[in-house]
Amino acid sequence: MSKKHLAFGKKTYIMGILNVTPDSFSDGNDFFTQEKAVSHAVKMEKEGADIIDVGGESTRPGSDRVSKQDEMSRVIPVIEELVDKISIPISIDTYKSEIAMKALDVGATIVNDITALQGDKKMVNIVANYDSSICLMHMKGNPRNMQKNPIYDDVVGEIYSFLKERAEYAMFHDIKKENIIIDPGLGFGKRTGRGIEDNCEILGKLDELKRLGFPILIGPSRKTFIGNVCGKNQQLPVTDRLEGSLAAACVAVINGADIVRVHDVKETRRCIDLIDCIVR
């Protein structure tokens, strides 16, 4: 597999999460140093990851923004070192054009933008000029307020319309269709725990989003809805959501997901290899 091009349709790709942050919801501070981050990325590749997604700002519900300088100092040295230590593509998880441009300069080939090119007006031109892949994600609100009171009449229909518009915007600004990936944004402004499980509905109706004609990235790993659904009367802690994460990943692939973004690479790889053997 090329470091730049992914052959969608032949297999499901696993994107290993590398949070170089002190405050991410699941693994904050676990890989905050460059040495730990690089070592974990190498481990994830050995366990079967196809992409490493490097992020320097937590986007958990209620999180605060970090400065460009802090984010840059967290992610760029890690990407620079990883380029020579792993053979799989590197994704930069950012909505800031300066961070993305520097990451692409030093070897990243995918931009994972939770704002779908809305957070920084310069991002669309950078992605087009570098001919990089771009992941466009749906989010209601922003990380600070997205879970306060999200409301939908038709959650899948709204996501469909949003991602369609964002993809058209990207292509209008010279981003190639084959470089676009879409993400419905599980956990980002979605209702959970009060009798309405938007995330489960999205997973069950991924085939509707598939009609947009773009590869789908899905990120259920260790999310709150898994703690709510699997915990019955008491939400499961983040450390006890592996089985639910694997179930969500398998359902996603059966229903059309092309990339699954996960913390637990080894376990997910084993599940997805079996699912791929059945459905592909």
Q: Which of 102, 166, 223, 269 is catalytic?
A: 223
Q: Which of 60, 241, 261, 269 is catalytic?
A: 261
Query: What single DSSP character describes residue 33?
Result: S
Beta bridge partners of 14: 260
Q: Which residues contact 29 (CB under 8 A, 6 or more apart)?
A: 21, 22, 23
Q: Which residues contact 189 (CB under 8 A, 6 or more apart)?
A: 139, 140, 141, 146, 147, 150
**CA-CA distance, 138 to 215, in Å (whole number)?**
14
Least Cα distance to 174 among 213, 130, 110 occurs for 130
Whether 60 sits among the annotated catalytic residues: the reply is: no
Query: What single DSSP character describes residue 216?
Result: B
Whether 74 sits among the annotated catalytic residues: the reply is: no
Q: 3-state DSSP call for residue 130?
A: helix
Residue pointed to by tokens 């059966």: 254
Task: List C-alpha distances in Å: 224 to 11, 140, 237, 264.
Answer: 28, 16, 9, 16
Q: Which active-site residues does the annotation give?
A: 223, 261
